[in-house]
Structures are given as C-alpha cells and as structure tokens.
Amino acid sequence: MSTEAVIVDVIRTPVGRGKPGGLLSGVHPVDLLAGVLDALVNRNDLDPALVDDVIGGCVSQIGEQSYNLTRNAVLAAGFPEHVPGTTIDRQCGSSQQAATFAAQAVLSGQADIVIACGVESMSRVPLGSSAAGADPYGSRIRTRYPEGLVNQGVSAELIAAKWGFSRDELDAFAARSHELAAAAQQAGSFASEVVPVPGVDGLTDETVRPGTSVESLAGLNPAFRTDRLAERFPELDWRVTPGNSSPLTDGASAALIMSASKAEQLGLTPRARFRSFSVVGSDPLYMLTGVIPATAKVLERAGLTHDDIDAYEVNEAFASVPLAWLADTGADAAKLNPRGGAIALGHALGSSGTRLLTTLVNQLEATGGRYGLQTMCEGGGMANATVIERI
C-alpha cells in the first residue's frame, strides 16, 4: 500500500420509519443526503473544494432516487461544481462498497480526499420499485435457476431452517437488538454520530422500541409465507416475522476518508484506518450467508483472528443472518452489535454500510477497542466485509 487510508469522521441522520408519516418521510432523498454532506464538511472545517470525489450508495435508483442521486446531492449541498459524485448499487452493501472504493482510491494514490456516503428513503421510494414492473432477471438466469429465485425473507427462512433456529431464538435476538439500542440511546451513545436534518425536529432514532420482549413479538404472524412458497419449501415452518426482521427505514450517512498525510496537512485527526476489505458472492437462493466467507477472507487479509476483534457490526437484515454468522464463526456474541443492530436501528438500504461504519468507529472509541469488523449480506447472494483499526 502506498499510503494509509484513514477515517476522519463518520456521521448519520436519525433513523426514520420508512413509511408515510415517518420522521424523515417529508424530506426528498437528495436533500436528505445533501444535509449529511454539508454537516460532514462543516463540522470538520473542510473546504469542500478539496474533495476529489463523492461515492454514494442507493438501492432503489428510480424516481426521486434516480439521475445519479449522489451528484445531485453534491450540488444540493453547495459543493463547488467541480466536485464529482457517483451512485453505486451493491444492494444492501452499497455504501459499505462506497467506503471500500473511496479507501482504495486513496490507497492507490489516485485521490487524497473522498467522501463515502449513502441514502435510502423507503417511505418515498418503496422497496422493489426500481424494477418498475419489469423482469430484472432475463431468460438465462431462469434457465440456470429453473425453480426461480426468492425474496430475501424466504432466504432468511431457509437459513433459519438450515441452522435450526427456533422462532423463540429469532425473537430473542430481535429483543436483544432493541434492548441494546434503547440502552445506547438512554446513555447518549449516539449523540456524537447523529446530525440534525434541516426542517426536521428530533435526533432520536424512530425505529427503536424499548421494552420489546420475546413475549411481545410472539403474536406476530410470519411475513413471507404464501401457499405457493409453502408448497415449494415444505421443510419451512415460517418463523420470520416483521418483529425479527429489519424495518423499512429512511436515513443517510457519510464517512470522510483521506490519506493520512492529507489529514496531517489539514490539521485533522484521524479516528481509524482501514486494514482490509473483502467482497464475495454466495448462493443466491440462500442469498444472505455471504457474511460468513467474507468474514474469513477479510480476517485473513488483515492477518488477524477473531481473538483480535473488539467489536463486530453484522447487519441484522433478519435475525437468522447474524445468528448463522455467530454459529459458523464462533465469534464472541458479546462483541456483536453491542449498540443494537438493524432490527432496532433500521436498514435504510443504501445508507446502511456507512451507518454501520459510523456506529463501529464510535463503539471502538468508547471502549478503547483496537479492531472492528463489519459485514453486510446483500441481495443476489453477496457480502462485503471490512476491518478497521482505531487510531
């Protein structure tokens, strides 16, 4: 590596319910991301003219999230017109991939300062709307998978069945997520990472439900069962509910990434450095299991073991995903999502990668931990993983 890629700052909006009437549902996604970009440079007293590129993640790139949303947000934030922006889609890992691309640009010497970011307004641009009623697969995928691929909820069911997780285990993990997130809220642990959204009152994550218990979740019905799917997968007893899944969410987040030498030149103090990256493909039917090989790969590249990792952020798209990850990796469960995960804090798809990075950096700083690992399952059967080191 020709230089070090460091994280100078990481921020996010409060999380809003991704439905009409949610905290952020009245904010256009371009404005939502622009507000985060503006806050990031302002609180670091950084001249935005110095930014080489802005790389943003967004999944449903249609309607209000089309036409290269990130470039539009760069202009809406008032950055000079010469600052470019591009929008990428690696499904749920889009902004984690944005951070990887940003760091790699710095490491290769092709950029000094890059902002990685992401946004998703699921209240205004509903999940799945980017298909616009058309076939996103084509005939050759149907030939390769003649029985057809399935949605992520069914994949979560298949994982729960394969690993043998009961409904109570899934609900218990979901209750843990809300308990930890509520405790973090109460302790003010998110105060340094959450920035105001112009025109919106409130800095509290809207999706956290204090007092959630296995008993309160037990009455919820399975979310993804249909008669056709039940016939195709008779081994499933349908345990995945809205309660042990991540909610529809609105949000934006961003990370200020630069070379260590540029940070020193500007008088900025790096908070963490990137140690290693990985991205893998996985079985698109099970879809969400890529976090397991991605974790093994990123640790090997970093020259580390699980004993070296002080905190993990494994995205809680569904409770069965981090539970399967724990079962296969043997990682310390106490280090997993210690401030709660996406079941409580939401999963604003394009924003989630840099949201996890934001929480991970702050957790390492609060505890004095050295190494953190984040990994994200993704639609189509993929996963990203990243190891960072607190400075």
Confidence band for 3, pLDDT divided at 50, 70 and 90:
confident
Average pLDDT of the segment spanning 113-126: 98
Decide: 287 and 152 in contact? Cβ < 8 Å: yes
Contacts of residue 105, defined as CB under 8 A and 6 or more positions apart, other chains included, come to: 52, 53, 111, 114
The predicted model scores a pTM of 0.98
Rounded to an integer, what distance in angstroms lies between the CA atom of residue 382 and that of residue 149?
14
Average pLDDT over the chain, rounded to an integer: 98
Average pLDDT of the segment spanning 182-187: 98
Q: What is the pLDDT of residues 70-92, one digit of tens each?
A: 999 999 999 999 999 999 999 99
Answer yes or no: is pLDDT of 2 > 70.
no
Q: Which residues are part of the catalytic machinery? A: 92, 347, 377
Neighbours of 45 (CB within 10 A): 9
What does the block give as tokens for 7? 């994280």
Q: Is 325 helix (H, G, I), strand (E, B) or coil?
A: helix
Rounded to an integer, what distance in angstroms lies between the CA atom of residue 253 and that of residue 9?
11
Q: What is the pLDDT of residues 274-330, one digit of tens each?
A: 999 999 999 999 999 999 999 999 999 999 999 999 999 999 999 999 999 999 999
What does the block give as tokens for 349? 């798809």
Average pLDDT of the segment spanning 247-272: 98
Tell me phi and psi for residue 81, to 5 degrees.
-65, -20
Q: With CA atoms as reference, report the closest residue to 263 among 2, 39, 45, 35.
A: 45
Answer yes or no: is pLDDT of 96 > 80.
yes
Q: What is the largest CA-CA distance in the chain?
A: 63
Chain-centroid distance, C-alpha 343: 12
Q: What is the pLDDT of residues 196-248, one digit of tens each?
A: 999 999 999 999 999 999 999 999 999 999 999 999 999 999 999 999 999 99
Decide: 375 and 294 in contact? Cβ < 8 Å: yes
167-187 and 320-329 helices, crossing angle to 10°: 100
Q: What is the pLDDT of residues 29-45, one digit of tens each?
A: 999 999 999 999 999 99
Decide: 179 and 341 in contact? Cβ < 8 Å: no
